[in-house]
Amino acid sequence: MDKYAVFGNPIAQSKSPFIHTEFAKQTSQALEYSAIGPEVDQFQSAITNFVAEGGKGANVTAPFKEQAYEMASHLSERAQLAQAVNTLSFNSDGSVSGDNTDGAGLLADLINHAVPLGKRVLLIGAGGAARGVIQPLLEQNPEVLVITNRTHSKAETLAEYFKSHGNITALTAEQLNQQGEFDLVINSSSSSLFGELPDIPASIFKDQGFAYDMSYKATNTVFVDWALANGVAKAIDGLGMLVGQAAESFYVWREVKPDTGLVETLLREQLSR
């Protein structure tokens, strides 16, 4: 039976084994999927051992996405742009292919929720999560994609890196006060994981606009509640993105597209228990 796994540290909280096992049942694919949590300095040896034991592919989460990028001998365009890999494929000739499905997962979830993508978009955060989704967002040709981050220089670096791919700029929290409202506000920062809000003005939210938080939990994240309190029509958490990026990885490995809606419903039920 083909073996797959997710690598991360910590990893106990990962929903990936459940998601991919459900995908396999749904699509009649014979595979097993586990979670592996190597020490921070043991990622490469853990991957080597996994391949030696018959591993066919792996998902990669924090803090190993950059290491996965470095070890891949073949990179997809989206992985090259993100400079991070969350999907590894171990080929029969001994080579390793790297891909990044985070942006595809976000885009699929936004489309599932009928969120308009061609208008003014604000992306909060300038870390790996942001880097993985910028190119797919720019491919939707928004009027402008603005990046804001606590450390402004990081946002400027990202805007400069992607400027040849679309209308993108970096603004400070103070500058956002002069920019008016955004049709879609995406929080890629880790603020919600700590029950905190990003340090930006509430004036960013548009009445009847949209908001998206890449974090998720059993109840609304603080960012989702904040957006709803400031008049957006819909605020969405990141569970659908999690399932969507997993579905894209599954397709990379198995060339079969699973139904994400069924699995997201099951996960929501799990979270609410």
pLDDT in tens, 138-171: 999 999 999 999 999 999 999 999 999 999 999 9
Same domain, 111 and 230: yes
The band of 179, judged by pLDDT with boundaries at 50, 70 and 90, is confident
Decide if 65 is catalytic.
yes
Same domain, 79 and 12: yes
Amino acid, single-letter form, for residue 74: H
Same domain, 180 and 135: yes
Q: Which of 8, 90, 101 is nearest to 49 (CA)?
A: 90
The band of 128, judged by pLDDT with boundaries at 50, 70 and 90, is confident
Q: Which of 57, 55, 54, 87 is nearest to 69 (CA)?
A: 87
Mean pLDDT, range 235-240, rounded to an integer: 97
The band of 107, judged by pLDDT with boundaries at 50, 70 and 90, is very high
The band of 249, judged by pLDDT with boundaries at 50, 70 and 90, is very high
Strand partners, 148: 124
Domain extent at residue 164: 103-237
Same domain, 115 and 193: yes
The band of 248, judged by pLDDT with boundaries at 50, 70 and 90, is very high
Same domain, 267 and 141: no
In degrees, rounded to 5, the angle at the alpha carbon of residue 25 between the alpha carbons of residues 19 and 29 is: 105
Same domain, 108 and 226: yes
Same domain, 38 and 157: no
Same domain, 208 and 192: yes
Same domain, 93 and 133: no
Same domain, 224 and 107: yes
Q: Would you state the pLDDT for residue 174? A: 92
CATH number at residue 55: 3.40.50.10860
Strand partners, 75: 98
The band of 194, judged by pLDDT with boundaries at 50, 70 and 90, is confident
The tokens describing 5, both together, are 């796994």
The catalytically annotated residue of 3, 25, 56, 65 is 65
Q: Would you state the pLDDT for residue 183? A: 97
Mean pLDDT, range 77-97, rounded to an integer: 95
The band of 105, judged by pLDDT with boundaries at 50, 70 and 90, is very high
The tokens describing 55, both together, are 């591993």
Q: Would you state the pLDDT for residue 27? A: 97
Helix residue spans in 28-166 (DSSP H): 43-52, 65-71, 77-82, 102-112, 128-138, 152-162
CATH number at residue 217: 3.40.50.720
CA 82 → CA 28, 86, 127, distances in Å?
Answer: 32, 10, 10
CB atoms within 10 A of CB 29: 16
Same domain, 76 and 115: no
DSSP assignments along 219-266, one per residue:
S--HHHHHHHHTT-SEEE-THHHHHHHHHHHHHHHHS----HHHHHHH
Number of domain units in the chain: 2
Q: Which of 238, 240, 232, 235 is nearest to 262 (CA)?
A: 240
Q: Is the pLDDT reported for residue 46 higher than 90?
A: yes
Mean pLDDT, range 185-214, rounded to an integer: 93
Q: Determine what percent of the chain is predicted with pLDDT higher than 90.
A: 91
Pairing of strands 87-90, 55-60: antiparallel
The band of 16, judged by pLDDT with boundaries at 50, 70 and 90, is very high
The tokens describing 98, both together, are 């790297």
Task: Please identify which residue in the block is written with the tokens 């989206």.
Answer: 78
Q: Would you state the pLDDT for residue 230? A: 97
Residues in the chain: 273
Average pLDDT, the chain: 95
d(CA 206, CA 184): 8
Give pTM, 2 decimals.
Answer: 0.93
Burial category of 199 from C-beta neighbours within 10 Å (exposed 0-12, middle 13-18, buried 19 and up): exposed
Q: Would you state the pLDDT for residue 178? A: 87
How far is CA 101 from its chain centroid? 7
Q: Would you state the pLDDT for residue 9? A: 94
Same domain, 81 and 120: no
The CA dihedral of 183, 188, 190, 195, to the nearest 10 degrees, is 20
Which is more confidently placed, 89 or 179? 89
